[in-house]
Structure 1
Amino acid sequence: MKTSFNAQSASELPLHPGAARVGIGGPVGSGKTRLLEQLIPRFIARGTELAVITNDLATREDAERVRRSGLIDAERVRAVETGACPHTAIREDPTMNLQMADELEARFAGLDLLLIESGGDNLASTFSLDLVDYWIFVIDVAGGDDIPRKRGPGVLSCDLLVVNKYDLAPYVGVDLPRMRRESDAARDGRPVLFTNCATGEGVDAVVDAISRAVLFDRS
C-alpha cells in the first residue's frame, strides 16, 4: 500500500511516484456512483490530478453518467465491461482494470489518484491488492441494519467501510446507533464512516481518509 508522507520526506522522493489506486465496491444501489460523484469535485478542489474507471456487467452506464455530470474531463473516465460476475474483474483476474489504469497513467502524466468503481455486487465483493492500494466498501442503511452482523468479506476486509444513506434510518426501521456499534464491532477498530451521498454529508471525512492513507502530502 502506498503510505502517507510529510512534506519533508516527500521532498526526498521522485516528483511523482505514480497514481494511487483506490477501489470502491459494494452492493447494487448502495451509492457507489453517488459517492464517486461527491469525491471527484472535492479532490479536484484540493489540486488532485485524478481519473476514473467504472465497471459494469455489460454496459457503460456508470461511466456515461460520470461523463455527463461535467465534474471531470470526459477523457479521464473509462469503462470496463466485465462480461461476468464483477468479482472477476476486481479480484480473481483484474487484468482489464490493470490495463485501463496503465493506459490512463500513460495518457495523463502526473496523475495522483485513480478511482476504480466496481460493478454492484454482494457482500462478498473484495478487491485484489494487485489492483488497488486502498479500497472502500459501501453499504447502505436501507439494505438493512443486519449487514454488519453478517460479517461479509467486503465489510470485514476493506480499508474503509462507508455506511451510506444514514438519513433514511427513521423511514426503514433501522436503529442507527445500534448499526454504528455493530459496524465498529465487526470492524474491530478499523475505520467506519457514515455518509449521505445525496447531500454530501460525511464525504469530506472519506476524502481525508483516502488522502491520509495513499496520497502524498505536498503542502
Structure 2
Amino acid sequence: MHKQLAQEIVENEAGQLFIEGDWHPNPLPTNIELEEMAYPDTSYSFTTFYSKKPVGFKLGYASGNYGHGIFTTGENGEINIGKFVVLQCTRIISNLSVIIKDHCMFSWGSVITDSWLGLETKSPAARKAMLKQAAHSYNRHLEFIDPQPVTIEENVWVGFEAIILPGVTIGKGAVIGCKAVVSQDVSPYAVVVGNPARVIKYLDPTDTEQEKEAALRLFIN
C-alpha cells in the first residue's frame, strides 16, 4: 500500500494487509479503501464486515476510527466516509448504503444503521424466514428486508449513544444530541434532542467555504 496512512500497513507473503502492531491479528478486508492519513485503528472493526461490493468501505483523507468502532455490513452493504471525520466507538450497520460526508464527528456509542425491523418484518412468518436465512449462512449475518440509505451531510456532530435510523438524511451543520433517536430527516443547522428526536433550535451557519479554507490553512500550517 503506497499511501501514507496514520498507521503502518504491512503485507505478508500471501498479499494480505495487516495493521502494524494490531492487537487483533486478522488481515484487513480486500475490498476497503483507505485514503492518505486515514486511521483504521484495528482489523477487529471489520469482524462483521461481509460486503461483496468492489469497495464496501471507504475511509477518507485524515479520517479516523477510534476506540474500536465496528463496521457491520451485509453482502450488498456499503459504508462511505468522507474527509476529516472522527468516529469514536461508533457502530455502523449497512445492508445498502451509509454515506458520511466531510468534517463530521461521532461520539461514544453512537449508532448509524440503514436496516431495522419494520412493518414488513412484523409477522412471525417474516421473522422466521429471516432467522432461517441467518442460521444457514456461513457467518450468521441477518440480511434485513428493505434497507433504506442513510446520508449524513457535512459538518454534522452526533452525541454519545445517539441512534440514526434507516432512510434518514441529516442536513449540513446539524447537531444530534446525546441519546437522541433520529427516525426522520433533520434540516441543515438544526439541533435535535430526545426520543423521538425533535428540533429545539437552529444554528447560524459558520461553515462557509471561506471559513473552511481559513481553518484548513491553520491546520496545514
Higher relative contact order, structure no. (Cα contacts within 8 Å, ≥ 6 residues apart): 1
> Greater share of strand residues, 1 or 2?
2
Q: Same fold (TM over 0.5)?
A: no
Q: Highest CA radius of gyration, 1 or 2?
A: 2
TM-score category (smaller protein):
under 0.3
TM-score, L = length of structure 1: 0.22
